[in-house]
Amino acid sequence: MSFWLLKSEPDAFSWQQMVTAGIEPWTGVRNHQAANHLRAMRVGDQAFFYHSNEGKEVVGIVEVAREAYADPTDGTGKWVCVDVRTVGPVPRPVTLAEMKAEPALDGLLLIRQSRLSVVPVSAEHWGVIAHMAGL
């Protein structure tokens, strides 16, 4: 199993909307590197759900329910999406500031490439963030 982090602006698509939906296509990714990460995802992989812009914190966990397919919001047929399923909220949100301050998270792509909306998370970093979140 691989681990990921998916960023969403809460005013566009929030954790509460994800919980209500249960399963949702992760559409709208228009960056080649982020789209390649979507293509690498496999059913059962888990991802942190991260509120960007407002909050800047990990708030929940989702899992990949369907592997990459054509993004229905893209008229060009160039971009892909995956379906993700709600796993649950984290007991305690973990902020970007806390992650930046944690030496064990050196190299975390969320910090190094903050503009990407989809980033891989190493198993080691996943464990650190999960511990910080009270899991």
Instruction: Read off the pTM.
Output: 0.94
- For 3-132, CATH gives 3.10.590.10
Rounded to an integer, the average pLDDT of 47-67 is: 95
Query: C-alpha distances in angstroms, 113 versus 34, 65, 104, 129?
Result: 11, 26, 17, 17
- Sign of the C-alpha dihedral computed for residues 73, 9, 130 and 31 taken in this order: positive
Helices and strands: H and E segment counts in the chain: 5, 6
User: Cα separation of 39 and 125, whole Å?
Assistant: 21
pLDDT at 53: 85
Q: Would the pLDDT of 11 be above 80?
A: yes
Give the residue extent of every domain in the chain. Answer: 3-132
Report percent pLDDT > 90 for the chain: 88
